[in-house]
């Protein structure tokens, strides 16, 4: 299987019904890295995808989390046990990663959903080996930088590959064509920061976006949706 249309050959999305996550193949290391880990059913989907790409013989060396929500972290412990991978996560999402975040206001619904998910679908604690702050280099090869995009969670982080002009945007927004939107209010811990984060992402010199929620589309199409959404926010700002 080749890379999906519009994707660079070293990046492979793993599509599952709830959430997409991504595999990066650092060819000169013969190593794989994951950006997030998906939810129930994601590990079989990951294994199928790696087999189809012919990457199933390569070791997974590291897992980088965009934020600490359940649908991005559910499989970390199992994957670490299977592969010995290190885990990197935003420092400000420490309590999310530990399942101890004190949700307030509307976002208490998010805490309730996560608690239900943990109880019904399972969750195992994991150890974060690298805490990430804004501007940090990411240990998956040269040229990767963390871009703090708070709002969905306090620590929510994008990951930029400057040479490829690609940005992994986590849950900054959901990319569904004309229906693209920022995450619903009850899923955001600090929603007042989202407009600024959209603006920051839209200001970067990019050729593509890789979101965790969205329709199947090329990174360039997802970038168009980011610009459209940021533009809508800008139009709503009082002049
Ligand atoms: Zn989330």
The answer as to whether 6 is a domain residue is no
Among candidate residues 204, 131, 192, the one with its CA nearest the CA of residue 168: 204
**pLDDT tens across 56-75, in order?**
999 999 999 999 999 899 99
Please calculate the CA angle 22-24-29 and round it to the nearest 5 degrees.
160
The answer as to whether 1 is a domain residue is no
Q: How far is the CA of 19 from the centre of ligand 1 (A)?
A: 10
Q: Contact 214/178 with Cβ under 8 angstroms?
A: no
**pLDDT tens across 103-124, in order?**
888 778 777 788 877 887 778 8
Q: How far is the CA of 210 from the centre of ligand 1 (A)?
A: 14
The answer as to whether 121 is a domain residue is yes
Q: How far is the CA of 64 from the centre of ligand 1 (A)?
A: 14
Among candidate residues 76, 178, 180, the one with its CA nearest the CA of residue 130: 76
Residue for token digits 């249309």? 5
- Range of the structural domain that residue 197 is part of: 11-236
For residue 236, pLDDT over 80 is answered with: no
**Model's pTM, two decimal places?**
0.93
Q: How far is the CA of 170 from the centre of ligand 1 (A)?
A: 7
The answer as to whether 4 is a domain residue is no
CA-based Rg of the chain, rounded to a whole angstrom?
17
Dist CA 27 CA 33 (whole Å): 11
Check residue 109 and give its pLDDT.
78
Please calculate the CA angle 210-215-219 and round it to the nearest 5 degrees.
30
DSSP track, 22-39: EEEEEGGGTEEEEE---S
Q: How far is the CA of 135 from the centre of ligand 1 (A)?
A: 21
Number of domains in the chain: 1
The answer as to whether 152 is a domain residue is yes
Range list of β-strands (E), 67-195 = 86-90, 130-132, 144-148, 157-161, 166-170
The answer as to whether 50 is a domain residue is yes
For residue 29, pLDDT over 80 is answered with: yes
Check residue 103 and give its pLDDT.
80
**Which CATH number characterizes residue 24's domain?**
3.60.15.10
The answer as to whether 102 is a domain residue is yes
The answer as to whether 74 is a domain residue is yes
Q: How far is the CA of 213 from the centre of ligand 1 (A)?
A: 9
């Amino acid at each position: 299987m080749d890379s999906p249309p519009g994707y660079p050959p070293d990046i492979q999305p793993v599509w599952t019904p709830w959430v997409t996550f991504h595999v990066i193949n650092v060819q000169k290391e013969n190593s794989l890295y994951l950006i997030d880990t998906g939810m129930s059913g994601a590990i079989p989907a990951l294994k199928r995808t790696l087999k189809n790409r012919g990457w199933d013989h390569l070791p997974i060396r590291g897992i980088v989390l965009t934020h600490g929500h359940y649908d991005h972290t559910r499989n970390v412990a199992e994957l670490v046990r299977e592969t010995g991978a290190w885990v990197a996560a935003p420092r400000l999402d420490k309590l999310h990663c530990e399942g101890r975040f004190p949700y307030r206001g509307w976002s208490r619904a998010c805490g309730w959903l996560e608690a239900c998910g943990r109880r019904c679908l399972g969750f195992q604690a994991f150890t974060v080996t690298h805490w990430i702050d804004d501007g940090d280099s990411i240990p998956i090869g040269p040229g990767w930088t963390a871009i703090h995009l708070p709002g969905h969670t306090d620590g929510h982080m994008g990951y930029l590959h400057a040479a490829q002009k690609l940005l992994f945007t986590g849950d900054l927004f959901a990319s569904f064509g004309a229906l693209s939107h920022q995450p619903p209010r009850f899923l955001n811990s600090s929603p007042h920061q989202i407009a600024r984060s959209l603006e920051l992402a839209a200001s970067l010199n990019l050729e593509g976006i890789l979101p965790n929620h969205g329709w199947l589309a090329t990174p360039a199409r997802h970038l168009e949706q980011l610009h459209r959404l940021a533009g809508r926010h800008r139009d709503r700002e009082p002049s």
